[in-house]
Amino acid sequence: MFYAVIDTNVLVSALLNVQSNPGVVLQSVFEGATIPLMNTEIITEYWTVLTREKFSFPVKLVDVVLRRFVECGLLVSVSLEGHQDVVDPKDRCFYAVTLSGREAGDALLITGNVRHFPRKPFVLSPAQFVEKLRENGDGTCWKGKSSV
């Protein structure tokens, strides 16, 4: 099992194509192989972005996904001060929550924009995370299958 902060761009990509690596990341949350870490700012961003008209995701689908994240995830309280090495201020909460999760264990940050974050071994692309799932024996059940 992995603890991970999942960047919003991964969720968007997962909902656009559930057969993709981001889709496998989302599936791992639904299957219990990944425990999402988040704070209220992240949850708000998820909702705001996933309900944008340009994506046309059904609100019911967004609600199911976010409800799952809240039900099986962990809310983390963090200070958003600092983290100037993260260029985009909107990304700082993702990094801060990841660092807080790393204080308690091995938390990962999964993002489609690894270049927006400091080069750290715990900042992974969806493809890198899927490889970790497979190495851990948690990724084989999603090959060609989607239940989201």
What's the CATH code of the domain at 48?
3.40.50.1010
State how far the alpha carbon of 36 is from the alpha carbons of 4, 55, 72, 93, in Å. Answer: 5, 23, 7, 14
Separation CA 59–CA 77 (nearest Å): 27
In a domain, 125, yes or no: yes
- Render pLDDT for 132-144 as a digit per residue (tens, 0 to 9): 999 987 554 433 3
Q: Rounded to the nearest 5 degrees, what angle is found at the Cα of 22, between the Cα atoms of 48 and 76?
A: 55
* pTM of the model as a whole: 0.87
In a domain, 144, yes or no: no
**Ranges 49-58, 87-96, 104-113: which has the least confidence:** 87-96
Residue 12: domain span: 2-139
What's the number of domains the chain is made of?
Answer: 1
Q: How would residue 81 be classed by pLDDT, with cut points 50, 70 and 90? A: low
In a domain, 51, yes or no: yes
- Mean pLDDT (the chain, rounded): 88
In a domain, 16, yes or no: yes
For residue 11, pLDDT over 60 is answered with: yes
In a domain, 133, yes or no: yes
